[in-house]
A and B are shown apart, each in its own frame.
Chain A
């Protein structure tokens, strides 16, 4: 008997929790409100099924609990009912799948006007590369990564010379412009994840993966790594700033290109930037090693 009541309470409690608890998704900052809507559809369909099944169970337990002299009915099969339930389930599943696949086809279809942006991950920091004036990113190769060329940009590729390199610093993006994010890792798996943008994708050493999105509001967002990448994983934070067009252009103007960074006369600034990178990498390592040393 108590169990029938508890089953009802589980349903009521879950529904109340769903609507009243303060834990909900972050305010969206990209075009992927399609995804949020698909989640809402999923919550409705699955919520109704959950409530229906558990409440029906609660009713059965209450109504058909054992009492002296009771005897169960004998009904091995009821093919009509079974067929009917199968069809209803299939309809429900289709109602989930169709919008899901529709949004997925948008997710995998990058708009032709999207600008490219490269994110390069390593244990445990983020770097970024933007195409220069030519709008093209130069080729890259993990095997030529070094302290002087931390992203492994191929120097012989002219497309790479004007690429803007943002090493272990904040990323800026213009609001309202679709971006195709190319993802690369030079060591282990990582995953470029900004909760407010909803989208995420793993980065695989040896491959280039991608996703796209359009930032829809300005603001500063935290970049998280969402694929276990070793002991520094939870500390692998970064910052992405969505700017107005004007602020963005101002920021781009301050950045250095690959050519500037690798040119001999700029050695001083390049060395400085490398140092700061190393330092931030070491910070994480130091933080990790402290408890170990004890």
Chain B
């Protein structure tokens, strides 16, 4: 009989904690991996795959709008299913998942100087539950009646009634179930991101030395943890209304001449719950983009981000304010009209910290040494589209101006510009920027420039003129724009033009995907720090970083993330882990 002493059961203290977690098989290394970097790639790949579905759906919608009556298979029923699933995928399953699950997982541990997320096992579960949520959503395409066509806002009562595709079939049930799963998965990941930023930072990495990317993702995650529960509750209640016949959101209703059994519920309560989540959601997508673009601009303009402290406070202020503006989505919902005064005021106040961020980005360019790399081009394009979309937000936020524009194509143009195009341009910039760290190789430059120009100019040409259709009064969510007196012949032509641009921009994304895959093997070798950047992820001993990120010893942080072009320094950047005052520290060439 062997005596088991505590010394045998507990590994000796000399073995680094991280050694115990190294994966030992192919399965635990690449599939059920607990490494945040692998989870990040899994999240990103899944989000991209489902995002492609949403892209195809947008093409189908544009076929119908641009060339009405030409494509018989796009019935109104199918059209509404397309817009619903397109919107839901883009907002939740692509943007939220990619920014937080993708970029968050990859960058947080590396940028704060941690070996991994604080709870790697829960982090792994987060991805698998997310994948399940995506599969449930996709399964609705194969369910009887197809996916729900209630619009991505899923407003009851129509969302669970027969007049809406999927309302009395499986569509809405699968949609709500998928959202519930997504929120469960996100919560597991989100807790990780927050705790890792708060507790997992390496020595010297004070909160005010964090790169803005981390600030953006961190604040967005805190917001998401507070906002998603409202959606969760709304989904559960609607599921009960649909499956058990409760009346949380259902008042007395006559459907096609038949009195339904519901009574006493409040449809508008759902809208409050939905937008209590839905508006912060805009910033859950925007704040990581704000953070990332700050770092892209700073790195590629070789200049510190202007007004770092102001940038941090602006992120926090926007995050907090975004919880008291939700009802600006409901100015014409029939809620008490006096709410309009309050929500218009809060909504326009949020423009101030947002504007400060824009000023600081362009002031970072001022007297910089601007390298027009592809990430920088995308960052510049982001500023253009974000300013454009942000300014039209001042129209829609200003209660009375919203009255004629609400529910028109103006809204569609606005939110696509500000939370579709702008964040996605940042995602592209970020991928061109960090791809060399993830794969060790650069993305192809020529394909990248083609991708940039077509995407930026194409997207602008799609969404800028669309505002004017809304100004004319063309409503959104119309499966056909026929028999409408306000719809002029030229407006139909404009719609055809927008559709053609949409196909071209979509095609450019195929070039991008090709580049992503091709460059894994054929891209130029990148080295450890091709952009000569200061943040910790570029200072890892290996590229791509190994499990545990930093080799034997964690880096120690001596400075903020923006020591570019420091007067007196030999190089035009000083990595965060280089000690010493300006220019005096021992230079450490990255691997």
Contacts and interface: CB of A to CB of B under 8 A. Distances in A.
Interface in A206-235: 206-207, 209, 221-222, 224-235
Contacts of A124: 163
Contact of A107 (B309, B333, B400, B457): B400
B367 interface: yes
Nearest to B76: A231
Interface string A128-150: 00000000000001110101000
Contacts of A152: 254
Interface stretch (B180-188, B283-291, B473-481): B473-481
B282 interface: no
A234 B351 contact: no
A286 B486 CA distance: 25
Contact of B464 (A17, A96, A104): A17
A38 to B, nearest CB: 5
A71 B532 CA distance: 14
B158 interface: yes
B157 A234 contact: no
Interface string B464-491: 1100110111010111110111101011
B252 A142 contact: yes
Contacts of A10: 384, 460
Given A21-B465, A66-B370, A206 B486 contact: no
A32 B473 CA distance: 14
Contact of B404 (A147, A199, A228): A199
B400 A74 contact: no
B113 to A, nearest CB: 22
Contacts of A76: 304, 306-308, 562
B372 interface: yes
Contact of A204 (B334, B365, B405): B334
B77 A66 contact: no
Interface in B288-340: 301-304, 306-310, 332-334, 337-338, 340
Contacts of B149: 231
Given A42-B395, A234-B478, A100 B155 contact: no
Contacts of A265: none
Contacts of A35: 400-401, 403-404
B484 A65 contact: no
A224 B481 CA distance: 11
B444 interface: no
Interface string B154-185: 01011001011101000000000000000000
Contact of A97 (B348, B363, B367, B457): B348
A188 to B, nearest CB: 4
A291 B332 contact: no
A28 to B, nearest CB: 10
B71 to A, nearest CB: 11
A232 B163 CA distance: 8
Contacts, number: 340
A61 B348 contact: no
Most buried by B among A26, A64, A108, A206: A206
Given A64-B369, A186-B254, A189-B267, A228 B477 contact: yes
Interface in A25-66: 25-26, 32, 34-35, 38-39, 42, 45-46, 49-50, 53-54, 56-57, 60-61, 64-66
A226 B391 CA distance: 23
Contacts of A183: 334
A293 B491 CA distance: 31
A198 B77 contact: no
A191 interface: yes
B392 interface: yes
Interface stretch (A81-89, A160-168, A241-249): A81-89
A123 interface: yes
A50 B391 contact: yes
Contacts of A65: 370, 372
A241 B508 CA distance: 48
Interface string B363-404: 101111111100001001001100110011011001111011
A74 B306 CA distance: 9
A263 interface: no
B293 to A, nearest CB: 13
Contacts of B457: 6
Contacts of B158: 187-189, 228-230
Contacts of B565: 71-74
Nearest to B452: A3
A105 B367 CA distance: 47
20 contacts: A6-B457, A7-B380, A7-B384, A17-B465, A72-B367, A73-B367, A76-B308, A86-B352, A104-B340, A104-B400, A108-B337, A186-B254, A187-B163, A189-B158, A199-B403, A200-B332, A202-B332, A206-B266, A230-B163, A235-B480
Given A45-B394, A142-B253, 16 more contacts: A39-B471, A57-B380, A64-B301, A73-B368, A74-B304, A107-B403, A141-B252, A143-B252, A187-B255, A188-B161, A188-B253, A193-B473, A195-B486, A206-B252, A228-B155, A231-B80
Interface of B: 72, 75-77, 80, 149-151, 155, 157-158, 161, 163-165, 167, 251-257, 259, 263-268, 301-304, 306-310, 332-334, 337-338, 340-341, 344-345, 348-349, 351-352, 355-356, 358-360, 362-363, 365-372, 377, 380, 383-384, 387-388, 391-392, 394-395, 398-401, 403-408, 457, 460, 464-465, 468-469, 471-473, 475, 477-481, 483-486, 488, 490-491, 494, 562, 564-567, 572
